[in-house]
Amino acid sequence: MNTQLASTADEPTTADRSAAVSTHLELVVADATYLTQDIREIVLRDPCRQNLPSYAPGSHLVIECEGHANPYSLTGSGDSPAEYRISVLHCPDGRGGSSAVHRLGLGERVRVSLPRSAFPPVASARHHLLIAGGIGITPTLSHLRAAASWGKSAELLYTYRPQQAAHLDEIRDLCKRTPSLSLREFAGRNSFRDGLVEALGRQPLGTHLYACGPQNFMESVIAEARKACWPESRLHIEAFGTANLDPGKPFTVHLARTGGSVHIPSGTSLLEALQKSGVSVPNLCRQGVCGECRIPVKKGRPQHRDLYLNEQEKASNATIMCCVSRSHEPELELDI
Ligand code: FES
């Protein structure tokens, strides 16, 4: 099914215009297509038909929908885009976010974050080895597009279940038209593992590896790369969600402005502990993706586990996303 937005459904409002200066945008669902039985592609546009903010390959945005806030990779070109495209796998056993996105109707307005980059290609890489499992193809596709338009060489290993491969025709076509790109497809675990081991062993020096897919898929890819002696600095994964975060060590936060202290036990998030002790903190996704729960840090080393802050922001240790992040040290001082 592929349906188009009616041209009269999108009169601009004052809120539309002011959204341009905020960290969020209000966009309309302009198109929706089922790429497979369970994967729905959603196209979002500005109600005033303005171009949208550019983004780096591998970026994601957070959609707020029916009380859920979930991150989805942008699959299109990020260069002054007229639209944002995402492809969403329906997870009936999840927390409901993907079901809500699958229910979005044409012309419906949604609040989305500005795109964030947590999985960019390394500009100095000599070659890119892209490895995608299932829906993990989404950020990989934008890497592939960027490699094609920048004339960079990239090889994609794409493993999927029959009838469940999103964007396959598009990727085959892109690789066919672009001499610097190559594609290998796998439909079984064993053949993929053999293909991965072979590919890991023949990459030129200076290659960077990027993996995206289910958690156990990414772990097995990284384990094979380590076995093949790839340096850690050349391994990159795109992980969404916090389902596999460990409970972490206990620590104590000191609140610089109020003078209080709060103990954070193992298995309790900093956000939960602050709320229990009466400290109110804005929050939305509780997955480290939306940016709502950011708190300034005065002293100490946060253990950043979010997908919101970029590498420089994490290295500065100036703020912490308290819904998922913890402390490397027994004590942390927050500027609240
Ligand atoms: S609540 Fe969304 S990043 Fe913490």
What is the per-residue pLDDT across 182-241, written as a single tens digit (0 to 9) for each? 999 999 888 999 999 999 999 999 999 999 998 889 999 999 999 999 999 999 988 765
Nearest CA to ligand 1 atom 3: 288
| pLDDT (tens digit per residue) in 17-72 | 444 457 889 999 999 999 999 999 999 999 999 999 999 999 999 999 998 888 89
User: What pLDDT does 288 receive?
Assistant: 87
| 93 CA to centre of ligand 1 in angstroms | 22
From 323, 325, 326, mutation site for ligand 1 pocket: most ligand atoms within 8 A of C-beta: 323
The β-bridge partners of 43 are 31, 85
State yes or no: pLDDT of 118 exceeds 90.
no
Any residues with CB less than 8 A from the CB of 276 and at least 6 apart, and which? Answer: none
Is the C-beta atom of 283 inside 6 A of ligand 1? Answer: yes
What is the mean predicted confidence (pLDDT) over 305-325?
A: 91
The β-bridge partners of 70 are 63
> What would the two tokens of residue 125 be?
């890489």
Q: Name the residue among 284, 333, 270 with its Cα closest to residue 24.
A: 284
What is the mean predicted confidence (pLDDT) over 133-145?
A: 95
Is the C-beta atom of 131 inside 6 A of ligand 1? Answer: no
Confidence band, pLDDT 50/70/90 cuts, at residue 8: very low
Q: Name the residue among 332, 263, 259, 277 with its Cα closest to residue 302.
A: 332
3-state secondary structure of 62: strand
User: What pLDDT does 310 receive?
Assistant: 81
State yes or no: pLDDT of 178 exceeds 90.
yes
| CB-CB neighbours of 318 under 10 Å | 14
Q: Which domains does the chain have, with CATH numbers?
A: 2-117 (2.40.30.10), 127-238 (3.40.50.80), 251-334 (3.10.20.30)
User: What pLDDT does 4 receive?
Assistant: 31
State yes or no: pLDDT of 176 exceeds 80.
yes
List C-alpha distances in Å: 284 to 72, 296, 302, 310.
16, 18, 20, 19
Q: Is 243 in contact with 215 (CB distance < 8 Å)?
A: yes
User: What pLDDT does 290 receive?
Assistant: 82
User: What pLDDT does 92 receive?
Assistant: 86
| pLDDT (tens digit per residue) in 259-314 | 999 999 999 999 999 999 999 999 888 888 888 899 999 999 999 999 888 888 99
Q: Strand (E) positions, the chain?
A: 2-4, 24-34, 39-45, 59-65, 68-73, 84-89, 109-113, 116-117, 127-133, 154-159, 181-186, 207-212, 235-238, 251-255, 261-264, 294-299, 302-303, 319-321, 326-327, 331-334
Ligand 1 atom nearest 283 alpha carbon: 1
State yes or no: pLDDT of 16 exceeds 70.
no
